[in-house]
A and B are shown apart, each in its own frame.
Chain A
């Protein structure tokens, strides 16, 4: 058993163990420490300094994302000094770039916006000149707006260390530094496979999903956990929907360490579900009449299927009917068809596409 000890955050005693950071412990106990460059799946970065805390006995402010807990440590998260520093950081970030929340896709779900709100910043305290960078809309699924980027580096870390596509990096220097694809190609012409991981970890509106644009702000979307239908990995997806339409997918972040996909998705799991919204979905039974498939009612269709199966079984025996079940329907539905084939029709002629 690893030994546990207590640390104190804002005077509150909290049980914890070695190897964790102050930020980890604060998060476990719902104590809000703002972060921008830190993400649970990309780990500590120690860049943005938004997570600074005061530790008794240590000089200066410390980055809680990188500070490991020690027995008896006493931490303050919201002193006047800390808030002043955070305010300065956020004001500088807000001053550099275009952080216009009004029509931003990230409105309501933006970590920079959250910080500004909590710090009571209504407008940036500085006015900085900056060179506007044209949107990168070259990719089918992802829009890049470098003007909203705060250079936290999460997307780069995740692209290189989590999904391992090795596309994103920082390019250029000083004022001109920005996130680039390969050797600064437009995303759509780069080696990017559009898994969308970068969008999922972006704290601001610098990376967004093209087809989610204008479909509804975050707070109007419903989130449901589903299992991806595209391969045997069985990725856990948080599917976001609105008005009974699919909007976008995120890899499930909750318990990500134990998820089969550890919060990640591929291009199919990310972007491949708009087929659900299609107008050409079948929405009525069809029966072939005079060589053509024509719309029919459920009773008519089901009666026909049942009577034809009954007749064919009577004439040629149960083994004359075959069943193709599916590797895309659920266990329960597979069981239902298996029970129907074996228990109702009376044949073992049931198989599925495991071979195809």
Chain B
């Protein structure tokens, strides 16, 4: 996030899209409601479902899944045509205007209505409200990114914020809501194929030199090419990838097109899984290493607003398990690395030394406080709640021309419904933790397909009936939840439940840049199960 969550009430208008906030980030969802109800902040929700925040919205637009690039650029088309954009900001702080302007031409309200299903009058109202209310903040999550054009969607949000000058002030910004408690930290720590910590590129020789020196390696021993992503590693299993070391991940539930993913995993020579339970992925491993859970160790986590927080040890883990860093260090030693950091403190000292944005975040400063937001380059630095104050980190903000691309697969004669996936309030990701919780599993213990009333009528399916859902990649059986809270022609399935795993159906088409799979759109059919 460029900004912080507490700023929600400093906004004049908030745009929520691709995030079912009250289910996936519930505490922040409450803060949005509070901003609307108690501070009079205007709210625009764009989602094909009647999500919890929809009833608090001034405008709720229900787009067709996979059309976010269209309506986002369509909003900007209207804003620019009406001269509602912030010309001074565009002039002074951005570049790429001409090309961007040209690409806007395509997104006429009529065209956008055709592509997104959002009536052009409503789109106009939303554009006007968002552009003319004052400070606007955009919040989004995987509903924006998990598309074969996910990067375009994010760029489109960034464009929208730039042309309105919504950067560098409280209550503005481009604000992705991270789905796990340490996605931000994992990225900051270089848990990505292209960067070391703090986004220092692996293709940059100076960066490689710096890390080679710190790790007592020769420069030529450092890999100088960008590595593979999670999705391409699975795709290349058996070919360029022979072994996987999987820590705290469950791709056998979370990867798209599960049947294919499973076949790929079987081609590997060696799989190591390090986890707290025998997950679906651990079950197919060659070696399983038992690890401590978050409350059984201490260390730092970085939240969606870049806040580095200290988490203490509350419990002793199982006697036969170890902490992740201890296991990793033990393997490193066995592979001949004699100076691998042994303790959490040693690791953190190295992090601070090699990561400018974390250099000032000492344990002492965050142990008894509420954390510090990076960049925090020195021990005296107070942290940075808002990024890009005054000017953009890269100098000028780049307005991106965006060419419309449809989703990789859409409803057709054979598979007439569009499936979108996500989480429920009570469950988390692949369910390995929440499905083992008495209360959470007690409230919801099985998956369901949300089906619009009209679609259900057409299919002669009643609420609570078990149905068969198929895509080109596989099929599952699941209970129908007939509702008017989802747009006609669209169905929703949560991906937590192995008994009715949504990812058997999803499409493994990837965004060409981010290699993110298109979880949010694929074509399915729903059938009655013959008695």
Contact = CB atoms under 8 A, between A and B. Distances in A.
Q: Do A and B bind each other?
A: yes
A282 B319 CA distance: 10
7 contacts: A230-B181, A258-B370, A266-B26, A282-B290, A283-B320, A320-B243, A324-B230
Interface in B184-238: 184-194, 196-197, 202, 211, 215, 217, 221-223, 225-231, 233
Contacts of B192: 350-352, 354
A244 B313 CA distance: 11
Q: 7 tightest A-B contacts by CB? A: A234-B303, A232-B178, A348-B227, A326-B248, A330-B299, A266-B26, A232-B304
Given A234-B302, A271-B440, A332-B300, 10 more contacts: A229-B293, A260-B309, A269-B27, A293-B283, A308-B270, A309-B245, A331-B308, A336-B347, A342-B190, A345-B335
A319 interface: yes
Given A276-B315, A285-B288, A322-B244, A336 B186 contact: no
B438 to A, nearest CB: 6
A338 B244 contact: no
Interface stretch (A46-54, A64-72, A75-83, A161-169): A161-169
Contact of B242 (A267, A269, A302, A312): A312
A331 B188 contact: yes
Interface string B237-256: 00011111111110100110
Contact of B230 (A288, A307, A345, A353): A353
Interface string A252-277: 00010011111011111101111110
A288 B300 contact: no
A282 B335 contact: no
Contacts of A161: 34, 38
Given A283-B318, A336-B325, A355-B514, A347 B428 contact: no
Nearest to B322: A298
A322 to B, nearest CB: 4
B389 interface: no
Contacts of A280: 277-278, 436
A235 B27 contact: yes
A329 B230 contact: no
Contacts of B189: 325, 331, 334-335, 338
A203 to B, nearest CB: 22
A355 B243 contact: no
Given A266-B26, A285-B288, A352-B249, A337 B191 contact: yes
Nearest to B233: A322
A176 interface: no
Contacts of B295: 224, 226, 239, 246, 273, 276
B305 interface: yes
B376 interface: no
B316 to A, nearest CB: 5
A285 B440 CA distance: 29
A10 interface: no
Interface in B461-490: none
A285 B307 contact: no
Contact of B215 (A267, A323, A339): A339
A278 to B, nearest CB: 5
A234 B348 contact: no
Contacts of A274: 436-439
